[in-house]
Amino acid sequence: MFLENSRYANVAQAVTTTRDGREVTVVRLRRLPPIDGDPYTVIGTDRLDILAQRRYGDETRYWHVADANTELEAGALTRRAGRVIRVPGQ
């Protein structure tokens, strides 16, 4: 279901039935330990993929930044300039 380098590759899956009777495969919630990171102040042009490219040399690792913060919607992390977020190391 996921590429082997996906953050969801090793997460348990389940089959559930929707209200209209379809069976779908879903990913169970990932339980994460607290993740340390360096504080970073968001500027107006920031996006998580750009931060990941700068930090890790790989824009697809944006989810490392998302996982280090408690925001439910990853895009909200960079929506407001001046916000301080955590950016984990390598």
Domain spans of the chain?
A: 1-31, 33-87
Classify 84 as helix, strand or coil: strand
pLDDT, residue 16, reads 95
Mean pLDDT of the chain: 91
Question: What's the CATH fold of domain 33-87?
Answer: Membrane-bound Lytic Murein Transglycosylase D; Chain A (3.10.350)
Sign of CA dihedral 71, 56, 34, 28: positive
pLDDT at 6 over 90: no
Q: What is the pLDDT of residue 48?
A: 96
Give this prediction's pTM.
0.71
Residue-wise pLDDT tens digits, 10-48: 888 999 999 999 999 998 887 778 888 999 999 999 999
Type of residue at 2: F
CB neighbour class for 51 (10 Å; exposed up to 12, middle 13-18, buried from 19): buried
In sequence order, which residues have a C-beta less than 8 Å from that of residue 49 and are 6 or more positions away? Answer: 59, 60, 62
Q: Is the pLDDT of residue 85 over 90?
A: yes
